[in-house]
Amino acid sequence: MEIFLDTANIDEIKRFASIGIINGVTTNPALIAKEGKNFRDVVNEICSIIDGPVSAEVISKDFKNMIEEARKISKIHKNIVVKIPATEDGYKALSIVAKEGIKTNFTIVYTANQALLAAKLGATYVSPFIGRLDANSTSGNNLIQEMATIYKNYNFNTKILAASMRNVIYVKEAALAGAHTATIPPDVLAQMMNNELTNVALDGFLKLWYELDESKREYFN
């Protein structure tokens, strides 16, 4: 499973990139705005840190401008994946830019039918918004399972990118349901790495180790 970091925060991206556990980054207009910097600068900096897919989103709602923006954004760096929202104009823009070879992340997806159409149009990734769907009393996890079945039935190459991950359980369930990728906020990814019992066990081992006479603790030479 590919793990993307769902943030535009450079410090967080550097932190997780240095651990080696992220394959890419996703941003959206809200995440970029939160950083208070120029769009192009932020996207460029992210691409200089992480050697993998970096999603950056169009902001127009009409297809003509979406296409223009998609073309411009895709030129920022070879790893750019252009996010296009699942609106009627979005499908229209997707069908054109996908044919031009621009990598796409069809986003804000809430139904299997939206995901089916995006795959037919050649989306590279499709992002179901799992947390937001759950908050609306509909199972986000069922949606991933449906998408996985549909994509398998028709041999689509489109990847399911589980988004809007609210906690570690979301990520595990997305992986079990067949998501190819999950984009995860930094705090949730940090929690995934840790377990209190690991720390308790490690402290116990090291406590006994340091009770051993110092002369008997040499083992690296």
Q: Which residues of 80-103 are buried (b: 16+ CB within 10 A; e: fewer)?
A: bbbbbbbeebbbbbbbbbbeeebb
- We find the least distance from the C-beta atom of residue 220 to ligand E4P, in angstroms, to be 44
Q: Rule CB under 6 A: which residues touch ligand E4P?
A: 6, 26, 28, 55, 107, 127, 129, 131-132, 163-164, 183
The dihedral sign for the CA sequence 160, 13, 21, 101: positive
Residue written as token pair 């759950």: 134
Q: In 3D, which of 69, 59, 43, 51 has the Cα closest to residue 4?
A: 51
- We find the least distance from the C-beta atom of residue 85 to ligand E4P, in angstroms, to be 10
Q: How far apart are CA 201 and CA 142, in angstroms?
A: 36
Choice between 16 and 129, CB closer to ligand E4P: 129
Given the residues 83, 152, 172, 207, select the one marked as catalytic: 83
Dmax over Cα atoms in the chain, in whole Å?
Answer: 74
- We find the least distance from the C-beta atom of residue 127 to ligand E4P, in angstroms, to be 5
Active site (annotated) includes residue 83: yes
Choice between 107 and 145, CB closer to ligand E4P: 107
- We find the least distance from the C-beta atom of residue 189 to ligand E4P, in angstroms, to be 12
138-143 contacts at long range (C-beta below 8 A, 24 or more positions apart): 138/110, 140/164, 140/170, 141/173, 141/174, 141/177, 143/110, 143/111, 143/112, 143/115
220-to-81, 207, 217 alpha-carbon distances in Å:
47, 19, 9
Choice between 107 and 141, CB closer to ligand E4P: 107
Which residue type does 3 have? Answer: I
Choice between 27 and 219, CB closer to ligand E4P: 27
Choice between 55 and 145, CB closer to ligand E4P: 55
Residues assigned a catalytic role: 83
